[in-house]
């Protein structure tokens, strides 16, 4: 009995000492610990991602020959259509190059594209954040935009050695400027994620929509990046306006919800557009300077 009591007392004392030490240690040590934990966790995240890829691979491999033939036929048709599109785009590219040569206009490359597989979604915020299998070793820097094709997925918020965390468009930490399809005057509007309840549907909001803006008839209006903020390249699709716009009581402007252009739940692969030159905001996001 006494031995049990002594054991319990020792546990409490050890816990108290640990808590006291944790409070007293310098923040750099705590940050190191956090980073070390993330790095410790990274192989597991890689393993999870790769297992999922493997499962998908075997699931596809188990399809019947008829299914594969049909899929191959569909793919051939899509390929044929894309071939035509590629030719058309090539013509446009050549014309573009010709015009640039005439005007002696040199456009420097501004972004380096890094393709990354999605490792996992952050369980604490299911819809809002994903972890990708590329990190500092691959040249990724915080603040870089994350896209899939020409659609915006989110933004890198934290970079570790081999993994990075990405705030999705629906994350409350995501904010960018946008243009609306059908707005001839190109007013800038604000897109930001909305904090949602656990298990609630993740949302983003489009605000500061001019009151005289009306959506194009017959189709949901697309929301594009402006390229003015120095982070996102211009004309990437962020999403679509959700059905309609509604006026806020203070007047003058309207708001709407945003439907992300990609199914964020099923993302498998994304591209990180790493700016070739550091922008001021990126410098602020470096923890040691910003805090």
Partner 1 sequence: MKESSDTRVLPSTPVERLRLYGVFFFFFAGFVYVIGGLAFRQLIQSSDLKEQSDTQSRRVVLRPPARGRIYDRNGFPLVDNRARWSVKADLASLQKEFRGEYLRLVAAEKAREAVSIDREKLMEDARVRVLQGWLNKVWFVIDETNRNTTKGRKSPAKLTPVTAPAERQINIDELRKHLRERRALPFTLVNDLAFPGTGQALTADDGTKSVARFIEQFPVEGPIRLEQDIVRTYPYGAMAAHVLGYVKDTDALPDNVDDISEVRVESLQKLHYTGKTGAAGIELSYNYVLSGRSGWELWSKTSSGYNQTRLKFSEPAQGGNVMLSIDYRIQQAAESSLAKLKDPQGNLLPAAAVMIDVHTGEMLALASQPSFDPNRLADRVSSKYYDEIDKAGGWLNRATQGLYAPGSTFKVITATAGMRKKVVDWDDVLECGAFFKVGNRDYPEHEPVGFGDVNLDKMLAVSCNVWNYQVGLRTGIEALAAESRRFGLDAPLLQTVSDVETGGQAMTELPFAASRGLVVPDREYKLRIGAGAWNDGDTANLSIGQGYLLTTPLHMACVAASIARGETRTVPSIIHSVERNGRHQGSQPIGLNPNQLEALRGGMVRCVEEGTARVARIPGLPYAGKTGTAEYFKKGEKAHLAWMIGYAPAENPVVAFAVLVEGQVDTNTWGGKTAGPVVKEMLETWWPIAAKANQDEKPKAAR
Q: How far is the CB of 191 from partner 1 (least distance, A)?
A: 9
Interface with partner 1, residue 220, by CB under 8 A: no
Interface with partner 1, residue 151, by CB under 8 A: no
Alpha helices in the chain (DSSP H): 2-24, 27-61, 65-103, 280-285, 287-290
Distance CA 80, CA 153 (A): 28
Interface with partner 1, residue 127, by CB under 8 A: no
Can you tell me which of 46, 126, 253, 259 binds partner 1, judged by CB under 8 A?
Answer: 253
Interface with partner 1, residue 177, by CB under 8 A: yes
Q: Which of residues 48-77 bind partner 1 (CB under 8 A)?
A: none
Which pair of structure tokens corresponds to residue 161? Answer: 């050695």
Strand partners for 129:
167
Interface with partner 1, residue 234, by CB under 8 A: no
Size of the site for partner 1 (CB under 8 A): 36
Contacts for 55 with CB less than 8 Å, ≥ 6 apart: none
Can you tell me which of 112, 158, 188, 194 binds partner 1, judged by CB under 8 A?
Answer: 188
Classify residue 167 by burial, with Cβ atoms within 10 Å: 0-12, 13-18, 19+.
Answer: buried
Nearer to partner 1, 119 or 153 (CB): 153
Quick check: 191 and 204 in contact, CB under 8 A? yes
Can you tell me which of 59, 249, 263, 266 binds partner 1, judged by CB under 8 A?
Answer: 249
Q: What is the DSSP letter of 75?
A: H
Q: How far is the CB of 180 from partner 1 (least distance, A)?
A: 15
Query: In whole angstroms, how far apart are CA 200 and each of 9, 121, 154, 275?
Result: 44, 16, 19, 34
Interface with partner 1 (CB under 8 A): 143, 172-177, 188, 190, 192, 207-208, 226, 228-232, 248-253, 277-286, 289-290
């Amino acid at each position: 009995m006494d031995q049990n009591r002594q054991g319990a007392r020792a546990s409490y004392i050890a816990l108290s000492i640990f808590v006291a030490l944790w409070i007293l240690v310098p923040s750099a040590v705590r940050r190191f610990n956090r980073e070390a934990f993330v790095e410790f966790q990274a192989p597991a995240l890689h393993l999870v991602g790769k297992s999922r890829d493997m499962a998908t691979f075997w699931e596809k491999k188990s399809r019947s020959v008829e299914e594969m033939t049909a899929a191959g036929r569909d793919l051939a048709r899509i390929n044929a259509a894309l071939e035509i599109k590629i030719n058309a785009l090539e013509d446009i590219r050549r014309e573009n190059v010709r015009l640039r040569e005439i005007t002696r206009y040199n456009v420097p490359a501004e972004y380096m594209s890094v393709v990354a597989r999605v490792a996992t979604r952050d369980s604490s915020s299911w819809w809002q954040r994903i972890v990708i299998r590329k990190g500092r070793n691959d040249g990724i820097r915080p603040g870089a935009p994350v896209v899939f094709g020409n659609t915006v997925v989110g933004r890198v918020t934290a970079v570790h050695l081999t993994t990075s965390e990405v705030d999705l468009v629906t994350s409350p930490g995501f904010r960018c400027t946008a243009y609306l399809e059908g707005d001839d005057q190109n007013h800038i509007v604000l897109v930001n994620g909305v904090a949602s309840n656990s298990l609630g549907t993740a949302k983003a909001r489009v605000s500061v929509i001019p009151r005289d803006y009306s959506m194009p008839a017959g189709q949901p209006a697309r929301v594009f990046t402006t390229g003015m903020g120095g982070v996102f390249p211009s004309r990437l699709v962020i999403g679509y306006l959700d059905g309609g716009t509604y006026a806020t009581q203070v007047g003058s402007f309207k708001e709407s919800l945003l439907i992300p252009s990609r199914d964020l739940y099923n993302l498998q692969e994304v591209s990180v557009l790493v700016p070739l030159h550091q922008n001021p905001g990126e410098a602020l996001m470096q923890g040691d300077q910003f805090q």
